[in-house]
Amino acid sequence: VLWSGPEPENDTLLTEFVLSGLSSHPELQHLLFFTFCLIYTITIIGNLLIFIVTVHPTLHMPMYFFLRVLSFLDISTASIVVPKMLVNFVSEDRSISYVGCATQLYCVIFLGATECYILAAMAYDRYMAICNPLRYAIIMNSRVCHSLVLLSCCSGNVVSVVQTAWVFTLPFCGPKKINYFFCDIPPLIMLSCTDTSSYEKQIITGTVLVIFTPFCLILVSYACIISSILKMSPAEGRHKTFSTCSSHLTVVTLYYASGTLIYLRPKSSNSQDTKKVLALIYTTVIPTLNPLIYSLRNKEVKAVLIKIIAELRKI
């Protein structure tokens, strides 16, 4: 891509960017490296464990199928962002190629958008299980579940291709340093030397489609779920249902809130440090919390996990 607009310092092809990372303080780099190395290890082990546990014959239900997909997305998201961040903590060379940056941006948007739709599919699954239990097995069959996942992936791919193409058709003139720990839309458009107001409107449109639309579907689903729960006579039944749904709502709240604050106003007055913290939530914290939330709040998952551990001890 040739430079356009204001002339850069040298009239050459843009071949790389430089990531500033989480912190500019040298004394913190090794501490951050070990901290996020530990977090990444927990993320991979935890999500792999959830993936293995939910394959157990007693957990062959749509909810656990979607949970396996969610674990795969979380592993992928963390693996796209964290390893490069770890390298930058201990390396003086924090550059990332132009193609590498575009690839990372595509993957982050694709995985993030797909997860937004998967969370909505999980809410619909819970709605059918609680509000329409007699027809649940018929409606939420294997074909429907796989179709929802495929539709989520296709939608995520379309959003990612369009957003990535729009970003990398912008002219980047001047400093190539990205004040972030990975390639993302807000810090990249800050480097553009042209008016990005029209593109920011496109980002808002994308945010509505990817975040607000699924979130509204989730709210409707849970409004119906809460209404059904309140009609239950046994208090024990209400408690169990609330426990099952609360883990999903915890993830939804953290995930959608952080994404909204970042992408709804990409050039807002919020400091880059604030945006880095918000980005850490959906790229690092959420993938780490998901296994803990679903394993600690779900009795069936805990029961199968204990059973697997007991069988391994016998070997």
The answer to whether residue 86 scores a pLDDT higher than 90 is yes
186 φ/ψ sector (left φ>0, alpha ψ -120 to 50, else beta): alpha
pLDDT classification of 174: cutoffs 50, 70, 90? low
Residue 6 maps to a domain? no
Q: Each residue of 32-47: pLDDT tens digit?
A: 999 999 999 999 999 9
| pLDDT on residue 243 | 67
Alpha helices in 132-271 (DSSP H): 133-139, 142-167, 185-189, 197-207, 213-230, 235-263
pLDDT (average), residues 146-163: 95
Could you tell me the pTM of the whole model? 0.88
Distance from C-alpha of 272 to C-alpha of 191, rounded to nearest angstrom: 13
pLDDT (average), residues 250-256: 83
Residue 114 maps to a domain? yes
**Backbone phi, then psi, for 267, in 5-degree steps?**
-115, 35
Share of the chain above pLDDT 70, in %: 88
**Backbone phi, then psi, for 175, in 5-degree steps?**
-60, 140
| pLDDT on residue 266 | 67
Interior angle at CA 150, CA 188 and CA 166, nearest 5: 20
Average pLDDT, the chain: 84
| pLDDT on residue 233 | 60
Distance from C-alpha of 252 to C-alpha of 225, rounded to nearest angstrom: 16
> Is the distance from CB of 224 to CB of 131 less than 8 angstroms?
yes
pLDDT (average), residues 224-251: 72
Integer distance in angstroms from the first to the last C-alpha of the chain?
A: 59
| pLDDT on residue 268 | 61
The answer to whether residue 6 scores a pLDDT higher than 60 is no
pLDDT (average), residues 200-222: 87
pLDDT (average), residues 152-158: 95
Distance from C-alpha of 123 to C-alpha of 140, rounded to nearest angstrom: 12
Q: Quickly list DSSP for 17-43.
A: EEE--S---GGGHHHHHHHHHHHHHHH
CA dihedral 267, 268, 272, 273 (to 10 degrees): -160
Residue of 87, 119, 39 lying closest to 284 (CA atoms): 39
Query: Which residue shows structure tokens 């310092």?
Result: 9
pLDDT classification of 1: cutoffs 50, 70, 90? very low
| pLDDT on residue 37 | 95
Alpha carbon distances (Å) from 285 to 22, 35, 217, 292: 15, 12, 24, 11
Least confident of 64-68, 219-223, 306-310: 306-310
The answer to whether residue 242 scores a pLDDT higher than 80 is no
| pLDDT on residue 13 | 56
Residue 288 maps to a domain? no
Share of the chain above pLDDT 90, in %: 37
Residue 314 maps to a domain? no
pLDDT classification of 270: cutoffs 50, 70, 90? low
Distance from C-alpha of 248 to C-alpha of 242, rounded to nearest angstrom: 10
CATH number at residue 43: 1.20.1070.10
**144: domain range?**
16-280
Q: 293 vs 128, which has greater pLDDT?
A: 128
Q: Quickly list DSSP for 268-311.
A: -SS-HHHHHHHHHIIIIIHHHHHHHHHHHS-HHHHHHHHHHHHH
Residue 305 maps to a domain? no
Residue 33 maps to a domain? yes
> Is the distance from CB of 221 to CB of 126 less than 8 angstroms?
yes
Residue 286 maps to a domain? no
The answer to whether residue 297 scores a pLDDT higher than 60 is yes
| pLDDT on residue 246 | 73
| pLDDT on residue 205 | 85
Query: Which residue shows structure tokens 């509000």?
Result: 131
Residue 313 maps to a domain? no
Q: Which two tokens stand for residue 132?
A: 């329409």
pLDDT classification of 79: cutoffs 50, 70, 90? very high
> Is the distance from CB of 262 to CB of 275 less than 8 angstroms?
yes
For the chain, the domain total comes to 1
Q: Each residue of 90-127: pLDDT tens digit?
A: 888 889 999 999 999 999 999 999 999 999 999 999 89
> Is the distance from CB of 118 to CB of 66 less than 8 angstroms?
yes
The answer to whether residue 8 scores a pLDDT higher than 70 is no
